[in-house]
Amino acid sequence: MFWQRRNRMDRLLLVFLFNLPEAAVLIFNGLSFFHLPILRQWKQLLIASVTLAFWVFVLDSFGVDYYLKISLFILFLIFLFWIVLGYSIKTAILMGITSASLMVIFELVISSVYARIGIDMGQFSSFSPTRIFYSWIYLVSLLSVGIFIRTINWNLGDLLHTKGRHYDHYLGLIIVFVFLTLGLLLLLNASSIVTNIPSYEIAKETEDLPVYQFLALVFSGCTTFFVWKYIKAKIAHVEKETEAPYLDYLNDLALNTSKIRHDAHNQYTAIKNLISLGTKEEALQYINSLIDQAEEIAQGFQDVHSKPLAALLMGKKSECASKSIEFEFHLSPNAGQLLGWKDIDMVTVFSNLLDNAIRATIEVEHPKIIIKWGVEGNEEVVSIENTGPTIQAEDFQHLFELGFTRYGGQGVGLPVVHATVKKYYGTIKVYSQEGITRFTVTVPVIKRLL
């Protein structure tokens, strides 16, 4: 009776000295993968940790097979993330699988290291201070992963909230099945690595081993399938989204053409009426004013070598004039004017950057856009600066991501600009402080051959 009570006390001590800390670390790691707060719901976390620790105690008390124990452990961990901590079932599944798979990996690695350096693994089957010491080394190593994940601000939850990028859901499934496959493979080989017993000898003693081998094969097949679906969906998404800026440009061109036709009709009507009233001098003055206005809009763009780009810049200047936005264009005579670039690429870069600048300036009292195009050393530099709201610091790292937008658009313009500039071995930098935002494109100078 004394030894039974002693054995029961040892198991309870093991719960508080190892199972409970391990449960807390596993839940901490699961939350860390999603960069979720810890202290805000500390009561629920404490309840989940205690519940998980005693669940392990129950499984150990009934002598559940190791493989079945791991399966039940993962299911219960998912249950705690879902019911106790209140996260969605999709998030809970990802949390439970990633955290538990990480645990299995570290158990294997630490056990293998202990076996290699000659530590008797038999002492882990009974309660002792040595076991607690070596177990805590494993816990500290496991905890360091969660701390590292939090330090680099990596968030697996971004795969679940993709703002319409459905292909990223496949990436989340890929990660899940990779962890499942890796965890199963490690489980199947852990005993042979730690005990140096050949796998076929273990297979003779373990009737359930073929089941787990079959599951590992199924999970590998699922991983391959979702990789194929991800690549296919990603290609389809990119093809669709990269068409958007060109379609927008064509729509703007059609709209501007219709506007020019409407304005021209009004101007011709006014001139016709002035002539019919016999006021030829007034008609002549009106015509001259129209010519002066057209020359003012075209002023500064005569030296632009690319005619499509010159036409774009004149159109944007006219648009700014209609919206009372001050527009300045400074072209250095030394500028190579992006020699070697295709006209469509130049139009793509300028149109997208100017569209963003125009949208931003609408929100300020004194809107202004300044374009500077020149040479600095061996680099050609184009900067487009505008007044407007300052870009938030947390948005900087997402500016050139496909699908990210600050103005309710499709989030395609800046990624296309970045890809275009990169194609010509250039760089693009962003400055935004105190109501001034500037996009600066820098490319290597290419000299003309005379």
Same domain, 189 and 312: no
Examine the domain organization and report whether 230 and 317 are in the same domain.
no
How far apart CA 66 and CA 54 sit, in angstroms, is 16
* Predicted structure pTM score: 0.45
Other beta carbons within 10 Å of 409: 15
In a domain, 170, yes or no: yes
For residue 281, is it within any domain? no
Nearest residue to 354 via CA among 387, 391, 316: 316
Q: Flag whether 71 is in a domain.
A: yes
Please give the structure tokens belonging to residue 392: 């938030």
**Domain region containing 153:** 2-243
The answer to whether 385 and 391 are in contact (CB under 8 A) is no
For residues 436 and 450, the answer to whether their CB atoms sit within 8 Å is: no
Mark which of 243, 258, 284 sits at the end of a domain. Answer: 243
Among candidates 103, 104, 100, which has minimal Cα distance to 187? 104
Is residue 100 assigned to a domain?
A: yes
pLDDT score for 197: 46
pLDDT along the chain (450 residues), means of 10: 46 78 90 83 88 86 78 88 86 84 76 70 63 82 87 70 57 71 65 47 50 70 78 69 57 59 64 70 70 58 81 82 86 84 88 89 86 90 91 82 71 84 90 90 70
- pLDDT for 15 equals 76
Whether residues 236 and 307 share a domain: the answer is: no
| Whether residue 72 is found in the same domain as residue 190 | yes
* CB-based burial label for 17 (10 Å; 0-12, 13-18, 19+): middle
Does residue 277 lie in a domain region? no
- 284 lies in some domain: no
Q: Is 365 a member of any domain?
A: yes
Q: What is the tally of structural domains in the chain?
A: 2
Residues 192 and 333 in one domain: no
pLDDT for the residue 202: 43
Write down the pLDDT at residue 275.
73
pLDDT for position 449: 41
CATH number (domain holding residue 336): 3.30.565.10
For helices 89-116 and 20-33, the axis angle rounded to 10 degrees is 120
Q: In terms of domains, do 139 and 220 share one?
A: yes
Residue where a domain terminates, one of 192, 212, 243:
243
Q: Is residue 336 part of a domain?
A: yes
Q: Which of 243, 271, 288 is the last residue of a domain?
A: 243
| Tokens standing for residue 337 | 């004017």
Do residue 167 and residue 97 come from a single domain?
Answer: yes
- Do 232 and 322 fall into the same domain? no
